[in-house]
Amino acid sequence: MAISTRFSVAVHILTLIDMNKERSITSDTIAASVNTNPVVIRRIMSKLKKAGLIQSSPGISGTYLLKNATEITLYDIYQAVEVTDNLFDIHKNPNPNCEVGANIQETLDTVFIHAQQKMEADLKRTTLSQITADIKQKAIN
């Protein structure tokens, strides 16, 4: 039920693109940084492109952001690459003749929706430019 690694890889991709605005960056270069197969990168980049976050072309022309990094939130990235609407899944078919089984789904649903809303609010407050700035700061220390 955890958020897939697509989300962190997508943030990695966009941060790398943002930090390399002055030079062309290819999916092979990004794959080397993520330490994964370029096919994995291309699949995620396809989702980012479909969401209107990047433009990419095969070969030397590389990839670039379609928005300023200050305008891209982690929520935008999350929405682009995660396929589920609900962060948490609740087990199916509990026993309706059991006091807990009859009520667990509704009770957990309320808690889980609240937790997801808080997480999404935090993601909406964090921009790609903040991630880039933090990485740059860590790199000089």
Query: Please, are residues 132 and 19 in contact by the beta-carbon 8 Å criterion?
Result: yes
Query: Please, are residues 85 and 3 in contact by the beta-carbon 8 Å criterion?
Result: no
Q: Supply the mean pLDDT for the chain.
A: 92
Q: Where are the domains of the chain?
A: 5-86+127-140
Q: Which fold has domain 5-86+127-140?
A: Arc Repressor Mutant, subunit A (1.10.10)
Q: What pLDDT, on the 0 to 100 scale, is given for residue 63?
A: 87
Query: Please, are residues 87 and 113 in contact by the beta-carbon 8 Å criterion?
Result: no
Q: How many CA atoms lie within 13 A of 139 on its CB side?
A: 7
Rounded to two decimals, the pTM is 0.88
Query: Please, are residues 135 and 15 in contact by the beta-carbon 8 Å criterion?
Result: yes
Determine the Cα–Cα distance for residues 130 and 90; give it in Å rounded to an integer: 34
Q: What is the mean pLDDT of each run of 10 residues along the chain (141 residues)?
A: 84 97 86 95 95 83 90 97 83 94 94 94 98 95 78
Determine the Cα–Cα distance for residues 76 and 36; give it in Å rounded to an integer: 23
Q: What pLDDT, on the 0 to 100 scale, is given for residue 89?
A: 84
Determine the Cα–Cα distance for residues 15 and 133; give it in Å rounded to an integer: 9
Q: What pLDDT, on the 0 to 100 scale, is given for residue 37?
A: 94
Q: What pLDDT, on the 0 to 100 scale, is given for residue 60?
A: 62
Q: What pLDDT, on the 0 to 100 scale, is given for residue 84?
A: 75
Determine the Cα–Cα distance for residues 1 and 84; give it in Å rounded to an integer: 10
